[in-house]
Amino acid sequence: MSTIRRMRGFLASSIGVTCAAALAVPLTLPSSGARAATPAAESPAGSAVAAAPARAAGSVPGSTQSLPLTPAGSDRSLGSASREEGIARRDVRPFSLVGVVWDDPEAELHGTVQVRTRATGTTTWSAWQGVETHNHEHAADPGTPERGTGAVRGSTAPLWVGDSDGVELRVRAEPERPERSGRSGSATATERAVPRAPLASPLPEGLRLELVDPGDEPPRQGAKAEVARAAAMTVESATASAVNADLAPMGATAIPELTKRQTEDDLIAARGGTEAVGKARPYIGPRPRIITRKGWGADEKLREKDFAYTKTVKAAFVHHSASGNNYSCSQAGSVLRSIYRFHVKSSGWRDFGYNFAVDKCGNIYEGRAGGVAKPVLGAHTLGFNTDSMGIAVLGTYSSSNPPKAAVNAVARLTAWKLGLYGANPRGSTYLKSGGGNLYTKGKNVRLRVISGHRDGFATECPGSRLYKKLGKARSSSARFQGR
């Protein structure tokens, strides 16, 4: 069945009429005044041990505790120029993911962030764990409406720690190069040879620890229950589902996989049939199964209500989430809900930053809302979000090898999505830089069609071990396309 025929059937239903009205809003970014409440408003300072709000049956609310850091020891007198801050060991409401944010999104945290947590209901504390500090390269491009709302904050990467109810944090500025004691030719050789203690850059202002509770897992329902639930969807969830209506029923928790032949036939039908396309069949991989935002329990009221699009998809940037590998695949939905909440409520982004996510078992998830087959504008690769998509492999792959299932999922996803836009996974393309630390704004940059984040920005992401697997992903993706 063609895309047009499917959409007509969808719009003919009572649900479709409701969603069509919701989709009539302009597909543009909102003004800077249309933002959610600031992170601090959700959990004011000093309220971390207050009673958790009651959850309605079947809801997936989640919550965020936002705690200000305080200067440590003798650093207390330094005020905004402090070089060591933290949070003393304390009891808090249950949470599963941590991150640190600060006021200025352009400021970088040059230093180390370490946290330890206590498993809920126990007296067992973890060892100190490092939090990846260089996260500003995952964001909307400079000068874009999303970046210029005034709500965006600097942030570390989020770290998944599992169900916890106690926390301790320390943030230390890294030392700069040592200064010599001699400042002039009049100093003695001995004085010039004695180094002073290393100096440290001041930490960014407004440091806060964000503790994220992902909320309950969405209830698993049968097909009949899903139909009933679709009829009772909110406008926000209906709108997020409607953009995938030609791929799956309203309210579906997953978009089903197709064979290569079915995928080709769908694409040919969408382009006007065989007469318009010609005898040659398109280079496109079979559509993989994709778990929808409904499937992983995204709270659609968190994000901006409108969607933002770019013109096409010429490249895919592969990332790792840097959130650690200490999660099971059954917890992947919780990890996604936590990162989503951290991106929106803590970092001030309009939605989940990546277009797609992949877990260690090879499951593929819809990321930023707007439609999995559409060119949705993300906030994943600073400077190169236009005409590209971002895929985050959940985990940290700097010193750990990514699972084969995850690499294969990247290949299957790119074979399909890049194939929709005629891109060759083995090839190269040109993207115009929106500004970053490798390329000046406006420069046309030649990049691999499947690139690592570090190809467009000076960053360690996607981790050296995952980056080494991109060659395999490219060849497998091309093979899935029939090249």
The domain that holds 466 is classified in CATH as 3.40.80.10
On whether residue 316 sits in a domain, the answer given is yes
CA distance 170 to 186: 41
Structure confidence at residue 454 (pLDDT): 94
Residue 232 sits in which domain range? 223-481
Tokens describing residue 167: 């926390």
Across 8-68, the runs of DSSP E, i.e. the strands, are: 63-68
Distance of CA 27 to the CA centre of its chain: 21
Q: What separation, in Å, do the N-terminal and C-terminal C-alpha atoms of the chain show? A: 26
Does one domain contain both 239 and 356? yes
Structure confidence at residue 280 (pLDDT): 76
On whether residue 19 sits in a domain, the answer given is no
Question: In the predicted model, what is the mean pLDDT of residues 15-38?
Answer: 36
Burial environment of residue 475 by CB neighbours within 10 A (0 to 12, 13 to 18, 19 or more): middle
Cβ neighbors of 368 (< 8 A, separation 6 or more) are 351, 352, 353, 354, 355, 376, 377, 378, 379
CA distance 437 to 457: 6
On whether residue 3 sits in a domain, the answer given is no
Tokens describing residue 369: 């809302």
Does one domain contain both 233 and 377? yes
Q: In the structure, what pLDDT confidence band is assigned to residue 279 with cuts at 50, 70 and 90?
A: low
Percent of the chain with pLDDT over 90: 65
Instruction: Please state the three-class secondary structure of 98-121 as a single string.
Output: EEEEECCCCCCCCEEEEEEEEECC
Does one domain contain both 166 and 253? no
Angle, helix 470-481 to helix 404-420, in steps of 10 degrees: 50
Does one domain contain both 273 and 413? yes
Q: In the structure, what pLDDT confidence band is assigned to residue 144 with cuts at 50, 70 and 90?
A: confident
Structure confidence at residue 200 (pLDDT): 57
On whether residue 413 sits in a domain, the answer given is yes
The number of domains in the chain is 2
- How many other CB atoms are there within 10 angstroms of residue 178's CB atom? 11
Q: Are strands 356-358 and 388-393 parallel, antiparallel or unpaired?
A: parallel
- How many other CB atoms are there within 10 angstroms of residue 49's CB atom? 12
Does one domain contain both 203 and 263? no
CA distance 171 to 208: 11
Residue found under tokens 């309950």: 216
Question: In the predicted model, what is the mean pLDDT of residues 439-462?
Answer: 94
Does one domain contain both 284 and 413? yes
On whether residue 421 sits in a domain, the answer given is yes
Structure confidence at residue 261 (pLDDT): 96
Among 135-139, 143-147, 342-346, the range with the most confident prediction by mean pLDDT is: 342-346
Residue 343: what residue type? H
Q: In the structure, what pLDDT confidence band is assigned to residue 223 with cuts at 50, 70 and 90?
A: low
Over the chain, what is the mean pLDDT?
A: 83
Does one domain contain both 401 and 316? yes
206 phi-psi bin (left φ>0, alpha ψ -120 to 50, beta other): left
On whether residue 423 sits in a domain, the answer given is yes
On whether residue 16 sits in a domain, the answer given is no
Does one domain contain both 431 and 313? yes
Structure confidence at residue 148 (pLDDT): 73
On whether residue 258 sits in a domain, the answer given is yes
Instruction: Give the closest residue to 247 by CA, choosing from 376, 430, 374, 108.
Output: 374
Structure confidence at residue 145 (pLDDT): 82
Q: Are strands 428-432 and 356-358 parallel, antiparallel or unpaired?
A: unpaired
Question: In the predicted model, what is the mean pLDDT of residues 47-63?
Answer: 51
**pLDDT tens-digit series, residues 237-254:** 999 999 999 999 999 999
**pLDDT tens-digit series, residues 285-337:** 999 999 999 999 999 999 999 999 999 999 999 999 999 999 999 999 999 99
Structure confidence at residue 205 (pLDDT): 94
Q: In the structure, what pLDDT confidence band is assigned to residue 77 with cuts at 50, 70 and 90?
A: very low
Does one domain contain both 291 and 173? no
Does one domain contain both 206 and 263? no
Question: In the predicted model, what is the mean pLDDT of residues 342-368?
Answer: 97
Structure confidence at residue 11 (pLDDT): 36
- How many other CB atoms are there within 10 angstroms of residue 370's CB atom? 23
Q: In the structure, what pLDDT confidence band is assigned to residue 52 with cuts at 50, 70 and 90?
A: very low
Does one domain contain both 240 and 307? yes
> For residues 162 and 98, is the Cβ–Cβ distance under 8 A?
no
Structure confidence at residue 150 (pLDDT): 80
Q: What pTM, to 2 d.p., does this model score?
A: 0.82
Does one domain contain both 294 and 433? yes
- In degrees, to the nearest 5, what angle opens at C-alpha 214 toward C-alphas 131 and 370? 95
Cβ neighbors of 262 (< 8 A, separation 6 or more) are 286, 287
Question: Residues 453, 382, 369, 424: is their CA dihedral positive or negative?
Answer: negative
- Residue 482, CA atoms < 13 Å, CB-side half-sphere: 15
What size, in residues, is the chain? Answer: 483
- How many other CB atoms are there within 10 angstroms of residue 393's CB atom? 27
Structure confidence at residue 47 (pLDDT): 39
For the ranges 46-60, 342-356, 438-452, 466-480, the lowest mean pLDDT is seen at: 46-60
